[in-house]
Structure formats: structure tokens, C-alpha cells
Structure 1
Amino acid sequence: MEISVKRVQIPDTGDTVELFLCDSPGKAIFYEVTEKLWDQPGALCLVFDVTNESWFSSCAKWLQRIRTKTYSPQLSDMAGRKAVEKGQAEEWAASNGLEYFETSAKELENFEQPFQALAKAFHQLYQERVEHFQGLV
């Protein structure tokens, strides 16, 4: 398991969001540790390898675990070996109320999109809470 921090600038604002990233391989041994990290997260992201159908299939199990532990999740190369088609993944994501991002770390394609979406969602949630608290004064 690897934990890191990524700073993301929010476009059209002077704000920056720090995303605390926990890369936990989808193995049962990590369930207990990752669930402890899910205590009221601002946003979560499911990631799978498009060359491995079983990893994609396990997303449903992980999403179910996430939904039982959190209040409202917001959820993202080797093209020649692709086992999960983009349309299939997009359909699954949409049917679960999630966004889908297809990226390539190897080609550095669209790798910032999931971070931008997570940061924007967290920033919007933060802004709404600030406005709510300001309305109480």
C-alpha cells in the first residue's frame, strides 16, 4: 500500500486542493486497512486495469464496500491487450452514478482528469459547507 499527496489547482479560482492518495491493491488483505482510511472521505476513486477483466469485475464488490462505509462516494494501457471495453466501463460507471476516466500512465494520456474531477468535487463540497456555515451566522 502506498500513500502520497497530490496538489491540484482548481481552474478559475486561486484555490488548491491537496488530495491524499492511498493506492491499495484490490486484495482482501488490504480491506481492513483501507476501510479505516475511508472514514468520511471527501471523494474516492475506483481504479482498475483495462487489461484484466477480473479487476474490472471486482469494482462492483469494492463499490459495495465503499457505499457501506461512507456517506456519499464520488468516483476512474496496453490498448492491444484490453479486456474491458470503454463502453462497458462507461455503462457500469453511469449505472452506479459514477464518472469514468480512461487514462494511460504509459502514454501520459488523460492522467490528470481523475485528479481534476476529484479536486473539483471536493472543492465544491467545501464551498457548499462554507456557504452553509456562513448562512448560520
Structure 2
Amino acid sequence: MEMLRAKCLIAGDSTVGKSAITQVFHSDGTMFPKNYTMTTGVEVCQKMMSLGNKNDSVDIFIFDSAGKEVFSEICEKHWDDVGLLALVFDVTDLESLNNCKKWKQKISRHLNPEKSIPSVLIGNKADLEQRRQVTTEEGEELAGQLGMIYFECSAKQNNGVDAPFNWMAKKLASFYDDSPDKVQLLE
């Protein structure tokens, strides 16, 4: 059995639901934060993922970064050795989608260009269909421009939250199988 360990950075604007996604995923859907508490640095949690029909697993260390610019210096100290990347925006806030370009640019300075890093763009709050400002097609288009795969979810309803993490874990294992020296793992 092969176990891979990887740091997963979750970034995006404040209030898009990064912490809610992290907590719902980490708790297997049993914990959605009822009250909003702003992340003021980086919160870390860990989850072991089995890769299904393979005997392999991926131990994901999730680094949930604050979205406010005032905390960026603190957050950036934790952005090295990233093996998985998830950018999050709010589908009811077009500006949060547009800001994902800036987030990707900022984070890219910390990524090892010689490593293959599975990356996803997540549109959260998909349950708020009446307030939607970003179409699925617009999310997919930006994901393509950023070299990412697009997912939508609702952390509140625990709908689609696991899908991006499952995809990243399987992609990491696939990259590892093809060329172990091309993936960024935690020792």
C-alpha cells in the first residue's frame, strides 16, 4: 500500500466559503459552521482519503488561507511545498471569480514549476441559484484559462464538496504513478 502526503492550499476572497468547504469536507458532511468567523491566518486540518479500487491513499493536509489582504503576509509563509491547489469563489459574487486570477498569480510565485500540481477552481454557494451572478460556463472558462478543473458545490447543503478533493487526490496519485519526481509531496 502506497500512502502519499500532500499539502492542499485553499485560497480565495474573504466570505466565499473556503472554511465552510474545508470543515464540511473534513467532517464528512457532519459539520457546517453556523456562524461566520473570519479566518485570520491559516487554519490547518488533515484528512486521509482512500483511492477506491486501488490500495493507495492520500493524506491531505488542508491549509485554509485567510482571504483578507491584511493577512496575506502571514498566509504566504505557509504557501511553500503545495502539492494540491483549490481556488474558491462565490457564484453570487462576480468579483470573487475575477479575483481568482490574482490569487492564482500570487500563489504561482510559491509553486515549484517543475512539479505537477493538481488544481481546481471551485464555485461555492451553488444552492443560491436566485442570486447567481456567475454561470457554470463562466467558471469553466476561467478554470481553463488558469489551467484548472472546474467544480461547483454548496458547502451549506454538502452538495459536491467531496468531488474536487477526490479529483485532486486521484490526479496526484496518477502523476505519482507516471513520474514520482514530478509531484510535490510532504515528507
Aligned residue pairs, count: 130
Counterpart mapping for 1:1-137 below 5 A: 1=39, 2-72=43-113, 73-75=117-119, 76=122, 77=125, 78-127=128-177, 128-129=179-180
Deviation at 1:103, TM superposition (A): 0.7
> Which structure shows the higher helix fraction?
1
SS of the residue aligned with 2:108? Answer: helix
What does the per-residue CA deviation read over 1:65-117, in whole Å, with 9 as the maximum and x for residues that have no partner?
Answer: 11122125432222221121111010010122110000111222211111101
Kindly provide the amino acid, as one letter, of the partner of residue 40 in structure 1.
D
Higher relative contact order (CA 8 A, sep 6+): 2
CA distance in 2, matches of 1:25, 1:39: 16
SS of the residue aligned with 1:101? Answer: strand
Moved segments of 4+, more than 6 Å:
none
Cα contact 1:43–1:74 (8 A) shared by 2? yes
SS of the residue aligned with 1:48? Answer: strand
5+ unaligned residues in a row in structure 1: which ranges?
131-137
CA distance 1:9–1:55, change in 2 (3 Å) = same
Give the stretch that moved more between structures: 44-53 or 73-82: 73-82
> Which structure shows the higher strand fraction?
2
| RMSD value, Cα | 1.7
TM-score (normalizing by structure 1): 0.84
Kindly provide the amino acid, as one letter, of the partner of residue 180 in structure 2.
R
CA distance in 2, matches of 1:50, 1:126: 33
CA distance in 1, matches of 2:51, 2:75: 27
TM-score (normalizing by structure 2): 0.63
What does the per-residue CA deviation read over 1:11-67, in whole Å, with 9 as the maximum and x for residues that have no partner?
Answer: 221111111112223211232233222212111110111111221111000000111
SS of the residue aligned with 1:106? Answer: coil
CA distance in 2, matches of 1:126, 1:90: 26
Cα contact 1:43–1:121 (8 A) shared by 2? no
Kindly provide the amino acid, as one letter, of the partner of residue 84 in structure 1.
V
